[in-house]
């Protein structure tokens, strides 16, 4: 008898054509999902499992023993964890946000007349309004056609807009100084995702996730976790080491088969690089942070289900409001963090994660335009650098800053087309 090995197991998923759940009927995997297509997913682990509450008999009998127990309704629960890489988890991010990845924005000299670049970290257009065109804080942009070759193909992150009609962009990294150029194209790199502002724009999505063990006898065993919703994530960004990601999942049922995989031809795993926090940028309160020793960022949508009589599955898996929070750990350099906590100062956070050090390395950029610290702890310990741990909550931005999206969190992924 063979024993399944984790290194040989495959995790794959596929999105249902419809995100709706029928309250008194499970989806038909053969027709509503289909065995073709799907996507193999990179992972460190998946803890998905089928669960049920046991209900042992409460009868008091002469034999003073329990003689019956029944299972309650079934549900799928767990999470999928991995090392964070661009593109890989785009579908799961989209499901947690209940939004839709927005297509890239593009402009040319026809929109802005000319572009002048300055090594002080600015790009200035001569006409037009880049915010009205659709560019936003946190977007990575790239030029083609500029006379200075070193400014072409660089992913500049927009940090702020200023000047007349928002024509002066503060960007990172700083460009090479170049006088006004009248022949160029500037394009947002990849796509962006925000939490929708209106109920009508929220999209329900559901997935099936498959654990396939090909090394078991008879063609292998699959466990297909059906009608699953994704309800949040946990991001880990250490000062040293790879960034991590975990997505929370809850579904309705699990199917099994022992004559091969359910998904017959899923797309192979993505081949993008893994993020670490060595390259890139972290801005807190509008300034680059050089002493951060770690950060976490979580979205919790509290997936829930309620049992219904006379059926063995939940009528629906409910997704609740998005609660975004996190923790910053940083070396003690002064009292700013304590003051921000005491005064309930609202600040911003922008982080760029890169897969390498090239000018156009794949990246994800996260913007939380409005966060508040809920604590700032600094116990005296050891003899080395003293560490401040500050927990924060992110809030929807409701201000009027130029090009700042009205959302709690925005993610841009440069690999999406």
CA separation, residue 209 to residues 84, 252, 306, 374 (Å): 19, 12, 22, 36
CB atoms within 10 A of CB 157: 24
Q: What is the SS3 assignment for 110? A: helix
Q: What's the token pair of residue 137?
A: 């804080």
Q: What percent of the chain has pLDDT over 90?
A: 89
pLDDT in tens, 308-345: 999 999 999 999 999 999 999 989 888 889 999 999 99
The CATH code that applies to domain 106-189 is 2.40.30
Mean pLDDT value across residues 390-404? 96
Q: Annotate 302-371 with DSSP letters as a single string.
A: --B----TT-SB-S--B----EEEEEEEEE--SSHHHHHHHTT--EEEEEEEESSSSTT--EEEEEEEEE
Residue burial 79-105, b: 16+ Cβ < 10 Å; e: rest: bbbbbbbbbbbbbbbbbbbbbebbebb
Give me the residues paired with residue 325 across strands: 298, 393
Q: What is the SS3 assignment for 88? A: coil
pTM, rounded to two decimals:
0.94
As a whole number of angstroms, the distance between CA 150 and CA 60 comes to: 83
pLDDT in tens, 127-139: 999 999 999 999 9
pLDDT in tens, 170-190: 999 999 999 999 999 999 999
pLDDT of residue 1: 63
Intervals of CATH 2.40.30 along the chain: 106-189
Mean pLDDT value across residues 59-80? 95
Mean per-residue pLDDT over the chain, rounded: 95
Q: What's the token pair of residue 123?
A: 């790009």
Query: Does the bond joining 265 to the residue before it have cis omega, within 30 degrees of 0?
Result: no
């Amino acid at each position: 008898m063979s024993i399944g090995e984790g290194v040989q197991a495959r995790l794959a998923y596929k999105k249902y054509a419809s995100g709706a759940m029928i309250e008194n009927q499970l989806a038909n995997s053969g027709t509503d999902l289909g065995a073709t297509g799907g996507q193999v997913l990179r992972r460190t682990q998946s803890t998905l499992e089928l669960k049920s509450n046991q209900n042992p008999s409460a009868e008091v009998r002469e034999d003073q023993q329990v003689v019956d127990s029944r299972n309650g309704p079934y549900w799928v629960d767990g999470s999928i964890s991995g090392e964070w890489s661009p593109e890989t988890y785009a579908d799961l991010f989209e499901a947690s946000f209940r939004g839709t990845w927005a297509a890239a924005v593009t402009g040319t000299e026809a929109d802005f007349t000319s572009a002048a670049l300055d090594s002080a970290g600015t790009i200035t257009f001569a006409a037009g309004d880049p915010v009205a065109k659709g560019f936003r804080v946190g977007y990575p942009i790239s030029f083609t056609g500029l006379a200075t070759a070193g400014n072409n193909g660089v992913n500049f992150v927009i940090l702020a807009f200023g000047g007349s009609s928002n024509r002066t962009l503060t960007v990172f990294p700083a460009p090479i100084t170049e006088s006004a150029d009248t022949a160029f194209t500037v394009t947002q790199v990849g796509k962006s995702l925000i939490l929708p502002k209106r109920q009508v724009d929220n999209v329900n999505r559901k997935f099936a996730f498959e654990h396939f063990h090909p090394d078991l006898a008879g063609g292998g065993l699959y466990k297909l976790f059906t009608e699953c919703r994704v309800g949040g994530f946990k991001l880990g960004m250490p000062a040293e080491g790879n960034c991590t990601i975990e997505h929370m999942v809850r579904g309705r049922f699990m199917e099994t088969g022992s004559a091969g995989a359910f998904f017959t031809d899923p797309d192979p795993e993505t081949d993008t690089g893994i993020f670490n926090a060595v390259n890139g940028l972290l801005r807190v309160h509008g300034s680059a942070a050089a002493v951060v020793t770690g950060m976490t960022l979580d979205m919790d949508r509290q997936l829930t289900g309620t049992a219904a009589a006379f059926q063995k599955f939940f009528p629906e898996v409910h997704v609740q409001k998005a609660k975004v929070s996190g923790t910053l750990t940083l070396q003690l350099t002064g009292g700013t963090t304590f003051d921000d906590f005491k005064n309930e100062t609202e600040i911003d956070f922008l982080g760029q994660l890169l897969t390498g050090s090239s000018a156009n390395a794949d990246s994800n950029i996260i913007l939380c335009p409005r966060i508040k610290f809920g604590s700032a702890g600094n116990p005296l310990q050891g003899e080395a650098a003293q560490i401040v741990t500050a927990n924060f909550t992110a809030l929807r931005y409701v201000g009027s800053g130029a090009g700042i999206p009205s959302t709690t969190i925005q993610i841009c992924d440069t690999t999406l087309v």
